[in-house]
Structure 1
Amino acid sequence: MNASHHGSRDPSWVALAAHRAWLDAEGGRLLRFGTAAAPAAGAGFAWLDASGTPDPASGVQLWITARMAHVYALAHLRGRPGAGPLADRGLAALDGPLRDAEHGGWYPAIPEPGKPSDGRKTAYGHAFVLLAAASLTVAGRAGAKALLADACDVMESRFWDDRRGWVRESWDRAWQEPEAYLGANANMHAVEAFLAAADATGDGVWRDRALRIAEFFVDHVARSQWWRVPEHFSADGHIVPEYHDTNRADPFRPYGTTPGHALEWARLLLNLEAALPDPPNWLAEAARWLFVVAVGAGWDADGQPGFVYTVDHDDRPVVHARMHWVIAEAICSAAALHRRTGDLVYEHWYRTWWDYCAQYVIDEHDGSWHHELDADNRPASTVWAGKPDIYHAYQATLLPQLPLAGSAAGAVRDAASGGEAA
């Protein structure tokens, strides 16, 4: 692909001081929006509606509280006043009402104050606890090291399957019944969390485990599927292509394949490559292929700007809604590949997707980003109601400014100690 056909040879936007200032300003706007999600110390972060008001009907979700604690830990590391205390509110909730003191691990949610959910304990939710605990530890927040030690122990003893090299999907509250399902999404976020844990603890075993997950889901499975990333598997690792055929727009387990996850995998493979002392060559190769195939299948797939949420196994659009997290991960992926390769095609896509965000996704009136748009790029709520958290959007403003590294917190810490500017 000839880079001269895909945008100008102007300096990279990320190298421009004005663009970096814009990224920081947009990140600051997101952080201000998110402050409304922590109305009380120790109660966790609430689900915010479209106007930024806590939605009591949604309760306190583990994944939201952990992701928001991670975000504010990153903001604290970057020197934002007030971010540290907000990160501490998430830490207090993870160490308090969301923790299952009887059986260990964390509840998936607290629907009402003092009444934790009896739902299943998921690898997805616990991966975000591990990510948050690692970022809080790097940020030096009080109590974070103990939380990280507990999160590592639960992940290792309950979710990590060392024989197979992946994380189990979920358990009942008492850890007696594993789910007969294996999900690529939970394992993808485990890669992110494991790399963060390695940076926070110095224990390379977490990097090794992240590589083993990537070897199965990407180098083995995605490579065999022409760089499509199947989402759903049986508990022993066989693809289940018709999973959720009758519930195609599920927010966590949609039918078909998800171009946004392929883009997220591409970025994480480059983080993994940067973290490993002797990385295999296939990581960068796979990142490029995942990007190409995801863009080809998902971008403008129905004749309108934007990424469709899902496609079927022949790359035909299934759910045409546009999700904010997909464009955020596309931006991060393009920035990472441009940094890794210098290829101007990735700079072209980076600019294209920020222009799309500015036109359709960023909500200048009510704050944050519209979490869902319809096929005509109008705000919608068929899959996601409101604006639950700022994790994906904030990282889209931050990660392009960081050197490739195992984790965002580690990269910010290293930059502050004399490395590349963050």
Structure 2
Amino acid sequence: MAWMGSPAHRRWLEQETDRLLAFARASRVDDGFGWLRDDGTVDDARATELYVTCRMTHVFALGDLLGRPGSGPLADHGVAALTGAFHDGEHGGWFSSRTPDGPADDGKAAYAHAFVVLAASSAAAAGRPGARELLDDALAVSLRYFWEEDAGMVRESWDRAFTREEAYRGVNANMHTVEAYLAAADVTGDDAWLTRALRITERVVHGFAREHDWRLPEHFDPSWQPLLDHHKDVPAHPFRPYGVTIGHLLEWSRLTLHLRAALELRGRAAPAWMLPDAVALARVAVRDGWHADGASGFVYTVGFDGRPVVRERMHWVLCEGIGAAAALATATGDPAYEDWYRRWWDEAAAHVIDPVGGSWWHELDADHRVSRTVWSGKPDVYHALQATLIPRLPLAPTLATAVAEGLLAD
């Protein structure tokens, strides 16, 4: 019997959702949500990160929609942090990180601002107070400072006053902007956000990825010319690693299918390239990344020749594999993707889920020992919690709206 259609498997997913939510609750700090160590306590030596606070706000909004007591007040705490401590009342936008003394990094990054939109969208879907106003502000900032109409993409980052922008463009920030715009389109009912998400996806997936045989370049100059050697000297960079990021091929595959379903749900014709491109991305990710060095698991990155570069196993890559497999199984009906899905949950159970300390190990080496070359601790539960929900939901609408509409499979 297929796991995805099994009530018993869905009960297991629900239990894992609750286990992750329980671990995440300890992350609350005065100015948002802090970075969790391996044991689930907050690392007080680290600044509070905007993107982590946003991810946890999104998670607790989902928890509230799932009827988990205590989640709603935590989502409210996140909204308060985003309208208060993290918000730049002088110049607009949100600080990248902060300490109790004020901003630690006052730059304005598209990556983190995309998560503000996602957090606000999920909290608004949950009906949390102040969330819709936060969403309207976040979308206005995104449109004014990050969206480039001519390019159909978003800029990377600015200084605090939005006067100097970085001479770099990145696919990672655009990927999470697609995720955020899909959620915003569901909550606001404004299809312009869906159209922008489609423009980004078409340029990245049907353009950059296809042109490079599905080994997607991540780094570009301001004219959107690829920088294939970027960070070759620091290949394990946490946000801008050298080469091809396997997890992003899987994530783009899944997001393309969510976008395709969202277009069809609204009665819009989805471009014919979307399904075959999503399949191609996932298949190259598996070919190049899964068991690429003889050991089980996905490597973090490969070069443009397909050879492993950073061999560490990141939990988020496996989560995106699970999500992509579930999305592909739903979109195609092909039982091969159910096989992927089972194999990757088996990998998670064998090596990545921490049944003793809670949550998932964020990084392992090729021998499945806990490693900290890129990530330390267990900072948030965003990727893992979504991996427990995606198999139980339709491809559209997005997670929070789907749960709010009662579409979660029992």
Give the structure-2-normalised TM-score. 0.98
> Paired residue for 1:188?
175
Q: Secondary structure at the match of 1:14?
A: coil
Q: Distance in 2 between matches of 1:139 and 1:420?
A: 15
Q: Distance in 2 between matches of 1:201 and 1:136?
A: 13
> Paired residue for 1:365?
356
Q: Distance in 2 between matches of 1:306 and 1:359?
A: 11
Is the contact made by 2:60 and 2:72 (CA closer than 8 Å) also made in structure 1? Answer: yes
Please give the per-residue CA displacement for 1:126-152, whole angstroms capped at 9, x wherever unaligned: 000000001111110000011001000
Q: Distance in 2 between matches of 1:71 and 1:105?
A: 22
> Paired residue for 2:250?
263
> Paired residue for 1:280?
271
CA shift for structure 1 position 420 = 6.2
> Paired residue for 1:92?
80
Q: 1:114 aligns with which of 84, 101, 105?
A: 101
Say whether 1:390 aligns with 2:381.
Answer: yes
> Paired residue for 2:24?
34
Q: Distance in 2 between matches of 1:352 and 1:234?
A: 38
Say whether 1:303 aligns with 2:286.
Answer: no
Say whether 1:175 aligns with 2:162.
Answer: yes
Is the contact made by 1:404 and 1:411 (CA closer than 8 Å) also made in structure 2? Answer: no
1:307 is aligned with what amino acid? Answer: F
Please give the per-residue CA displacement for 1:305-346, whole angstroms capped at 9, x wherever unaligned: 000000011011000000000000000000000011110110
Is the contact made by 2:47 and 2:104 (CA closer than 8 Å) also made in structure 1? Answer: no
Please give the per-residue CA displacement for 1:338-392, whole angstroms capped at 9, x wherever unaligned: 0111101100000000000000000111110000000111111110010010000
Is the contact made by 1:119 and 1:173 (CA closer than 8 Å) also made in structure 2? Answer: yes
> Paired residue for 1:138?
125
> Paired residue for 1:80?
68
Q: Secondary structure at the match of 2:309?
A: strand
Q: 1:54 aligns with which of 17, 35, 42?
A: 42
Please give the per-residue CA displacement for 1:169-208, whole angstroms capped at 9, x wherever unaligned: 0000000111111100000000000000100100000000
> Paired residue for 1:322?
313
Aligned residues: 406
> Paired residue for 1:123?
110
Match runs of 1:151-230 below 5 Å: 151-230=138-217
Is the contact made by 2:301 and 2:310 (CA closer than 8 Å) also made in structure 1? Answer: yes
CA shift for structure 1 position 14 = 1.7
Please give the per-residue CA displacement for 1:102-157, whole angstroms capped at 9, x wherever unaligned: 110000000x2031124421000000000000111111000001100100000000
CA shift for structure 1 position 412 = 1.3
Stretches of structure 2 that go unaligned for 5 or more consecutive residues are none
Q: Distance in 2 between matches of 1:198 and 1:393?
A: 24
Q: Distance in 2 between matches of 1:341 and 1:389?
A: 31
Q: 1:380 to 1:118 in 2, by over 3 A?
A: closer
CA shift for structure 1 position 15 = 1.1
Is the contact made by 1:97 and 1:114 (CA closer than 8 Å) also made in structure 2? Answer: no
1:286 is aligned with what amino acid? Answer: D
Q: Secondary structure at the match of 1:56?
A: coil
Please give the per-residue CA displacement for 1:10-68, whole angstroms capped at 9, x wherever unaligned: 2x21211110000010110010000000044xx20000011111001111100000000
Say whether 1:413 aligns with 2:404.
Answer: yes
Q: 1:168 to 1:406 in 2, by over 3 A?
A: farther
Q: Distance in 2 between matches of 1:148 and 1:413?
A: 17
Q: Distance in 1 between matches of 2:345 and 2:52?
A: 25
Q: Secondary structure at the match of 1:13?
A: coil
CA shift for structure 1 position 399 = 0.8
Is the contact made by 1:272 and 1:406 (CA closer than 8 Å) also made in structure 2? Answer: no
Q: Quote the sequence identity (%).
A: 55
> Paired residue for 2:325?
334
Q: Distance in 2 between matches of 1:384 and 1:119?
A: 22
Please give the per-residue CA displacement for 1:44-98, whole angstroms capped at 9, x wherever unaligned: 0000011111001111100000000001111111211111111111111101100
1:351 is aligned with what amino acid? Answer: R
Q: Secondary structure at the match of 2:102?
A: coil
Q: Distance in 2 between matches of 1:120 and 1:213?
A: 23
CA shift for structure 1 position 235 = 1.0
Is the contact made by 2:4 and 2:338 (CA closer than 8 Å) also made in structure 1? Answer: no
Q: Distance in 2 between matches of 1:282 and 1:407?
A: 21
Say whether 1:354 aligns with 2:345.
Answer: yes
Q: Distance in 2 between matches of 1:334 and 1:197?
A: 24
Q: Distance in 2 between matches of 1:14 and 1:72?
A: 24
Q: 1:23 aligns with which of 3, 7, 13?
A: 13
> Paired residue for 2:3?
13
Stretches of structure 1 that go unaligned for 5 or more consecutive residues are 1-9
1:218 is aligned with what amino acid? Answer: V
Q: Distance in 1 between matches of 2:104 and 2:138?
A: 19
Q: Distance in 1 between matches of 2:105 and 2:331?
A: 44
Q: Distance in 1 between matches of 2:284 and 2:409?
A: 32
Q: Distance in 1 between matches of 2:229 and 2:66?
A: 44
